[in-house]
Amino acid sequence: MTPIPDPHSDLSIELNADEAALLDELPQLQGVGQSRRDFMVASAVGGLGLFASNLLAKEAALAGMPLAADAAVATIKAQNVVQVALTINGSPQTLELDSRVVLLDALRERLGLTGSKKGCDQGQCGACTVIVNGERRLACLTLVASLEGGEVTTIEGLADGDRLHPMQAAFIKHDGFQCGYCTPGQICSAVGMLEEARRGDVSHVTGDVARPVHRLTDDEIRERMSGNICRCGAYPGIVAAVQEVHSGRQTAQTWQFATQAQLAAVRKEDDHAAV
Amino acid sequence: MRPFEYVRASDAASGIAAVGTTGDAKFLAGGTNLLDLMKEDVERPTRLVDIGGLPLRQIRRTRAGLSLGALATNTETANHPLVREHYPLLTQAIVSGASGQLRNMATNGGNLLQRTRCNYFYDTAMPCNKRAPGSGCGAREGLNKIHAILGWSEGCVATYPGDMANALYALDASVRVRAPDGQERIIPVADFHRLPGDTPERETQLAHGELITSIELPIASAEFARNCHYLKVRDRASYAFAMVSVAAALDMSGGIIRQARVVIGSVAHKPWRSAEAEALLTGKRADVVTFERAADIALRDARPLAHNAYKVELGRRSIVRALMRAARLA
């Protein structure tokens, strides 16, 4: 088994030519403005990269494993091919695909937009939430064929260049995630949901549905976001983030990055424990 | 998912023809239930006719009341000012179901046609007379916590899972449909869904190729706007199907009930409207004793299965609570 490399070593040495090319070909990280490879290398060099370099080491190990002789991948033949012209994150696309392809798979497998996540793939978790023609919808239950002329916004399309969408910034500020898998869906859902609130839409917890609701309580936010499941249970942070963007009232960030002194103190304790 | 031919309908007539001429063709609107069932290999259409572009999305006032386009989304319908003002029971029912994302996709016509959530219907390794007629019913002697207590047959104990339809039954809505020969007909919603009997695979009165074009709400049902309540009881507070739900509507004058509507959801193969309970309430003073008697009558014929006897008492209490809230006594 390939040993896990020292995270402080020069990461580029660990990549073979194929992997380097693969990483370079991945789409630019929106809002970061650099290639995924540069991002991972930079974060590794920056001392935050233990996770990233482990990941790369595992990928390198997997890449080194010989394929079984009979593992040749059968080509899946597209059937009932449809041609669809639509706009994704402001860019016009014309896709030719099997009529069975849902938006989630087209985004992830055809367009390299892997921000939208596949959770349950049957409309129960919300991880694939994207915005279609201004409305939040589930990409796993939307046939691309039905989107002729449509406008799709995914998590990759929310930021304005290097400037995060306010909802993205609020999720970071309020720690609205742990593993991050549900986060793109949560953020797209929250952005769509606040548009619904601007229209005055009512919900299951609205007292009198005859009156429009524009000002959302935390209970209203919880109810309206119930289609997005978070298994880490980051709900308090999610509600705080959505409420801050909705109300415009800045609330204090409850966490900070550790200072160098704090990190040094922790390292010292670890050394002590090791003795 | 099995391969299917995708056809985009340019007008209602050609869309209806495209479905009507192929035995296993289906209309595609919001797709929230159909696509899920196709992924599960429960629905196996060889052709999908996308009606999403047809001009059936309008919600408009008519001389008879309010007409809800079949393709208006659940969100659009629940939040339409005329629905909220005159038929708030429908708004309450719709927003108690699914999630924001799903309500943005799901249409009124599709909501009426949603299939049961019976686990045995969904699991193609299990027998199910609804999915595979003649294969038997896995739920009858299986795990049947979520199943029917009223109107079931030995062949099928599945329930209709929706919320919107419960309110439509209480509001005496009707369903306008167009047939392949171009003829229109209007089906009172109370007759729209069927009890399972020996043919649980036939869930509604629609013939193959018939298309729902609108749902009509009568003007008289606006009398219930002040005193109505939709109560949904479920395993968690949001985004779950009902164990029991109740659509309660009262037309009251000085504490006396002029007319009443009591519909119980998720207890039968269709929304269960209790004419006996409604008759008992008519002309009576609205109070808890009267509501308890109405609830007893509504569930008098309940026949629970091995795991759902709780639905009888839960249903009884839910009817009382929904009526108390409708009467503004709780």
Instruction: Please give the ipTM for the structure prediction.
Output: 0.97
Is a pLDDT exceeding 90 seen at residue A71? no
pLDDT category, A49, cuts 50, 70, 90?
very low
Contact B246, B319 (CB under 8 A): yes
Q: Who wins on pLDDT, B235 or A7? A: B235
Assigned domain for B149 exists: no
Q: Which pair of structure tokens corresponds to residue B145?
A: 């916590």
Q: Are A188 and A236 members of one domain? A: yes
What's the rounded mean pLDDT across residues B244-260? 98
Assigned domain for A107 exists: yes
Assigned domain for B198 exists: no
Question: What would the DSSP string read from start to end of B21-74?
Answer: TSTTEEEESS-TTHHHHHHTTS---SEEEE-TTSS---EEE-SSEEEEETTSBH
* Number of domains comprising chain A: 3
Q: Are A121 and A186 members of one domain? A: no
Judged by CB atoms closer than 8 Å, whether chains meet at B104 and A137 is answered as yes
Cα(A20)–Cα(A8) distance, rounded to whole angstroms?
Answer: 19
Distance from CA of B312 to the nearest CA of A (A): 25
Across the A/B interface, how many CB contacts are shorter than 8 Å?
110
DSSP H or E stretch at residue B174: strand B174-178
Q: Are A109 and A44 members of one domain? A: no
Question: What would the DSSP string read from start to end of B223-249?
Answer: GGSSEEEEEEEESSSSSS-EEEEEEEE
Assigned domain for B270 exists: yes
Assigned domain for B266 exists: yes
Cα(B128)–Cα(B126) distance, rounded to whole angstroms?
Answer: 6
| Phi, psi angles (nearest 5°) of residue B187 | -110, 120
pLDDT category, B118, cuts 50, 70, 90?
very high
Q: Are A97 and A142 members of one domain? A: yes
Q: Mutate which of B2, B101, B114 to disrupt the A interface (most A C-beta within 10 Å)? A: B101
- The strand pairing partners of B156, in sequence order, are B153
Domain that holds residue A114: 81-157
Q: Are A142 and A97 members of one domain? A: yes
CATH number reported for the structural domain that contains residue A228 in this entry: 1.10.150.120
Mean pLDDT, chain A, rounded, equals 83
Q: Are A125 and A85 members of one domain? A: yes
Assigned domain for A275 exists: no
Domain that holds residue B247: 226-326
pLDDT of residue A33: 40
Assigned domain for B72 exists: no
What's the rounded mean pLDDT across residues B120-142? 98
Assigned domain for B103 exists: no
CATH number reported for the structural domain that contains residue B269 in this entry: 3.30.390.50
Contact B172, B127 (CB under 8 A): no
Judged by CB atoms closer than 8 Å, whether chains meet at A146 and B31 is answered as yes
Assigned domain for B301 exists: yes
| Phi, psi angles (nearest 5°) of residue A161 | 60, -120
Assigned domain for A257 exists: no
Q: Mutate which of B32, B51, B79, B99 to disrupt the A interface (most A C-beta within 10 Å)? A: B99
Assigned domain for B47 exists: yes
pLDDT tens-digit series, residues A176-216: 999 999 999 999 999 999 999 999 999 999 999 999 999 99
**Contacts with B75 from chain A: Cβ below 8 Å:** 135, 196, 201
pLDDT of residue A268: 87
Chain B residues within 8 angstroms (CB to CB) of chain A: 1, 3-6, 8, 28, 31-32, 35-36, 39-40, 48, 50, 52, 75, 78-79, 84-85, 88, 91-92, 95-96, 98-102, 104-105, 225, 237-239
Judged by CB atoms closer than 8 Å, whether chains meet at B35 and A202 is answered as no
Q: Compare CB distances from A80 to B5, B8, B79 and report the shortest one's residue.
A: B5
pTM recorded for the entire structure: 0.87
Is a pLDDT exceeding 50 seen at residue A8? no
Contact B260, B327 (CB under 8 A): no
Judged by CB atoms closer than 8 Å, whether chains meet at B102 and A123 is answered as yes
Assigned domain for A2 exists: no
Judged by CB atoms closer than 8 Å, whether chains meet at A80 and B3 is answered as yes
* Number of domains comprising chain B: 2
Chain B residue with the nearest C-alpha to that of A223: B238
Pairing of strands A91-98, A81-88: antiparallel
